[in-house]
Copies of this chain bind each other. A is one copy, B any other.
Amino acid sequence: MTSSSSLTKNQKLVLDALEKEKGPLSAYSILDRLRDDGLRAPLQVYRALDKLLDLQLVHRLESLNAFVACAHPHCHASHMIAFGICETCGQVWEFSDDVVRDRLMGWAESHDFKPSKTTIEMKGVCADCRAAG
């Protein structure tokens, strides 16, 4: 089995913590939420996150040093994913755009550059927060 049914205890705990949260969490925030479940050291969280990132069940937001549960599990095997991140409420939107991907891949090809991982993150203010002003 390739997905969450084969997760270990710690991996499930970390994934659950992220899925319960509307926004991203830092590794240390996750740790704090899981102390009552027996987790004691950062490394326990980071190891679980490594696996979850491999499985694409979780994404890392580079500009926040934080992690978020995938919004569309199993749906973007090798996609180039983009994120909208509200700086006010912390909510995250996950999307992908084939035109963006093609343009970036085009730049890579024209420069003989072989991309392995691409980060696209838009920080700003979401509709709700603007309305709440």
Contact = CB atoms under 8 A, between A and B. Distances in A.
Interface of A: 62-63, 82, 84, 86-87, 93, 95, 97, 99-100, 103-104, 107-108, 111-127, 130
Q: Copies per complex? A: 2
A116 B124 contact: yes
A112 B115 CA distance: 31
A108 B103 CA distance: 18
Contacts of A95: 107
A111 B67 CA distance: 22
Given A63-B62, A119-B120, A120-B119, A104 B100 contact: yes
A108 B121 contact: no
B87 A97 contact: no
A114 B129 CA distance: 10
A112 B124 contact: no
B130 A112 contact: yes
A62 B82 CA distance: 14
Contacts of A103: 97, 99-100, 103
B122 A115 contact: yes
Given A63-B62, A119-B120, A119-B121, A113 B97 contact: no
Closest 6 CB pairs of A and B: A112-B127, A115-B124, A62-B63, A62-B62, A119-B121, A115-B122
